[in-house]
């Protein structure tokens, strides 16, 4: 941990030097004192100026920093905090800027960090800091009305707001702050028994919910909240590829399919390792800390500031347990997902929520398998149902699309057996009959003008309902071989495409590969290989039963390579994946 701390101090000094150059010093600018971010302007959100000055504050009060009690940095910090006050709206909020204006949840993210910044500076015995700490305290005080009344968009926003309320209470002991936190907590916690949060966001929002509920649980003496954090951190030990990438193949948020590391989990693993005196959490803190290359986390989750604000969470004395690199782990196998989905109609929201998602895949089963440098994920309820890492070679996903629904198939069920794993689904598509006359709006019948959007379509009976049953069976047939067996029922002539998605860093080759658009190929027969830095994945065998370049409504994002196998129902085909 000393090595991580020393590296964080050095990195923070480098970032301080760089961000000082980005401070706007034109007194005529409305952004005076702010720090230019990736948008070309300065903003007061948690990923912009507040995040950067968390590093400045950490340097100013840290004797190990070359900026310790530096008068020039103090002056710059004073200007930056004044900028935050100037950009704070009259209602106490700040705006995210990319979206979310006058935003209570985005203000809560900032509060989560600025409260820590205030605590850090306020306990440092240096009189010159007092004007800055007074400005920080004023900024926080102004946020209280918004925190007491403001709402949210997403599931994690509730816990970010709750943490902000509790952290504000440490500074401003107003009972209504905790009462508002209790209002949010009364909704119950959105986590499965295996530790998965609603948004299934291993790359971003798990860490957000974890650090927020840690602070809430600590300050409200609610051990059940800490238990949820512990549960997610234990789950995350199974969701890391050998390269250090986090599994994002099934995320419900913007990290879906994106490259992420464990870096933003460092503060919470450290805090929980100290809380539980847990050797495996301490090892995970070391591991997460080793991936910090820049302070990309928001101000509420700043790694160096967290160490300085909570020095009591020292884990240097805790023995480290070995990290997991061999396992077969099924997650959410017992989660009552079907029972919960069956209750939706009775709730009454009719699947409508503003500015958010219902996250209907919450709790969907998945399987994680690690064998040293081999890493496999098998998933239900997602566009891709299988992914594999073999050293540097990345099979990012396997997906199946049909013209029946049309589009990507998301397998409904995932079950395990002694021989392997089975995914299945039943697609259903029918036709809409006429609305019964007694359910038509008054004045509709016989009208010469009847807008389609004013008809109560929910009352149309379904006619000619059709079904298509699909299955995929996945078997590990040896240390270096997998098979994927896909099959359909006997319905004829449904166009189908099986797509193997590879990283751009490797080379695709094969004797009967037909090149399509850039980065897209068709495996018409035989086998193909994908090679990256000497690691090879071989897949056989291909088919070209139709010539459609894409099956309706299945879009392929850029930045990957795609190998398609074109099938027509009925089909019963086995693909062999060999690792060379």
Chain centroid, CA 247 distance in Å: 10
The SS3 call for residue 138 is: helix
Same domain? For 275 and 389 the reply is no
Same domain? For 255 and 400 the reply is no
Same domain? For 303 and 381 the reply is no
Residue 360 lies in a domain: no
Same domain? For 302 and 403 the reply is no
Residue 339 lies in a domain: no
Q: Which CATH number do you get for residue 280? A: 1.50.10.100
* Over residues 479-508, mean pLDDT: 96
The SS3 call for residue 50 is: helix
Same domain? For 277 and 191 the reply is yes
Task: State pTM to two decimals.
Answer: 0.93
What distance in Å separates the CA atoms of residue 258 and residue 192, rounded to the nearest whole number? 23
**In the structure, what pLDDT confidence band is assigned to residue 469 with cuts at 50, 70 and 90?**
very high
**In the structure, what pLDDT confidence band is assigned to residue 101 with cuts at 50, 70 and 90?**
confident
Beta bridge mates, 579: 537
Residue 558 lies in a domain: yes
Same domain? For 55 and 116 the reply is yes
pLDDT of residue 1: 61
Residue 347 lies in a domain: no
Is pLDDT at 450 greater than 90 in this prediction?
Answer: no
Span 180-239, pLDDT tens digits: 999 999 999 999 999 999 889 999 999 999 999 999 999 999 999 999 999 999 999 999
Structural domain boundaries enclosing 311: 2-326
Residue 549 lies in a domain: yes
What distance in Å separates the CA atoms of residue 43 and residue 54, rounded to the nearest whole number? 14
**CB-facing half-sphere around the CA of 160: CA atoms within 13 A:** 28
What distance in Å separates the CA atoms of residue 25 and residue 50, rounded to the nearest whole number? 17
Same domain? For 10 and 156 the reply is yes
- With CA atoms as reference, report the closest residue to 54 among 291, 269, 272, 304: 304
Same domain? For 320 and 395 the reply is no
97: phi then psi, degrees, rounded to nearest 5: 105, -50
Residue 54 lies in a domain: yes
**In the structure, what pLDDT confidence band is assigned to residue 349 with cuts at 50, 70 and 90?**
confident
Compute CA distances 33 → 240, 302, 402, 502, 550, whole Å: 40, 21, 55, 45, 51
Same domain? For 52 and 181 the reply is yes
Chain centroid, CA 60 distance in Å: 33
Asked whether the beta carbons of 364 and 377 are under 8 A apart, the reply is: no
Residue 62 lies in a domain: yes
The SS3 call for residue 575 is: strand
Q: How many domains does the chain have?
A: 2
Residue 333 lies in a domain: no
Percent of the chain with pLDDT over 70: 99
Same domain? For 396 and 270 the reply is no
- With CA atoms as reference, report the closest residue to 81 among 124, 15, 33, 40: 33
Lowest mean pLDDT among 117-121, 366-370, 388-392, 514-518: 514-518
Span 234-257, pLDDT tens digits: 999 999 999 889 999 888 887 888
Same domain? For 298 and 403 the reply is no
Same domain? For 298 and 411 the reply is no
């Amino acid at each position: 941990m000393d090595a991580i701390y020393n590296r964080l101090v050095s990195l923070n000094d480098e970032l301080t030097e760089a961000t000082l150059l980005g401070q706007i010093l034109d007194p005529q600018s409305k952004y005076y004192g702010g720090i230019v971010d990736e948008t070309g302007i300065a903003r007061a959100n948690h990923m912009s100026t507040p995040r950067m000055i968390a590093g400045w504050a950490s340097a100013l009060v840290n004797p190990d920093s070359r900026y310790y009690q530096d008068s020039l940095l103090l002056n710059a910090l004073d200007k930056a905090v004044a900028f935050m006050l100037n950009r704070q709206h009259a209602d106490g909020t700040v705006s995210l800027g990319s979206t979310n204006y006058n935003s209570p949840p985005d203000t809560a993210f900032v509060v989560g960090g600025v409260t820590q910044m205030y605590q850090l500076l306020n306990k440092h015995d240096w009189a010159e800091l007092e004007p800055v700490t007074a400005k920080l305290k004023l900024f926080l005080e102004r946020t209280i009305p918004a925190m007491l009344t403001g709402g949210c968009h997403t599931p994690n926003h509730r816990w970010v707001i709750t943490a902000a309320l509790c952290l504000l209470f440490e500074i401003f002991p107003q009972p209504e702050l905790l009462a508002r936190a209790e209002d949010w907590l009364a909704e119950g916690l959105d986590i499965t028994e295996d530790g998965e949060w609603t948004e299934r966001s291993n790359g971003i929002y798990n860490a957000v919910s974890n650090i927020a509920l840690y602070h809430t649980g600590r300050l409200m003496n609610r051990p059940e909240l800490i238990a949820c954090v512990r549960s997610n951190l234990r789950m995350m030990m199974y969701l890391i590829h050998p390269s250090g990438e986090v599994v994002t193949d099934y995320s419900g948020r913007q990290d879906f399919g994106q490259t992420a590391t464990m870096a933003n989990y460092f503060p919470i693993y450290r805090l929980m390792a100290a809380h539980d005196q847990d050797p495996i959490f301490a090892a995970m803190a070391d591991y997460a800390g080793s991936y910090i290359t820049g302070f990309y986390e928001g101000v509420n989750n700043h790694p160096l500031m967290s160490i300085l604000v909570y020095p009591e969470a020292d884990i240097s004395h805790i023995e480290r347990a070995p990290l997991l690199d061999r396992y077969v782990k099924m997650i959410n196998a017992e989660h009552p997902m079907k029972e919960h989905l069956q209750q939706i109609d009775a709730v009454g929201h009719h699947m409508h929520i503003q500015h958010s998602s219902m996250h209907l895949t919450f709790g969907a089963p998945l399987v994680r398998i690690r064998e040293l440098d081999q890493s496999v994920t098998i998933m239900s309820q997602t566009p891709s149902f299988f992914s594999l890492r073999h050293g540097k070679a990345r099979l990012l996903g396997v997906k199946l699309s049909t013209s029946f629904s049309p589009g990507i198939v998301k397998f409904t069920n995932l079950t395990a057996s002694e021989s392997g794993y089975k995914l299945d689904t039943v697609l259903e598509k029918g036709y809409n009959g006429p609305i019964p006359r007694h359910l038509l709006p008054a004045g509709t019948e016989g009208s010469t003008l009847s807008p389609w959007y004013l008809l109560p379509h929910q009352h149309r009976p379904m006619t000619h309902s059709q079904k298509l049953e699909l299955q995929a069976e996945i078997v590990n047939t040896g240390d270096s071989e997998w098979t994927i067996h896909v099959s359909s029922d006997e319905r004829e002539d449904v166009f189908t495409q099986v797509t193997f998605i590879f990283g751009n860093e490797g080379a695709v080759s094969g004797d009967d590969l037909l090149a399509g658009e850039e980065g897209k190929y068709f495996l018409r027969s035989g086998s193909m290989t994908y090679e990256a830095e000497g690691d090879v994945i071989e897949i056989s065998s291909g088919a070209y039963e139709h010539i459609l370049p894409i099956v309706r409504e299945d879009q392929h994002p850029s930045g990957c390579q795609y190998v398609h196998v074109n099938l027509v129902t009925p089909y019963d085909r086995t693909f062999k994946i060999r690792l060379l």
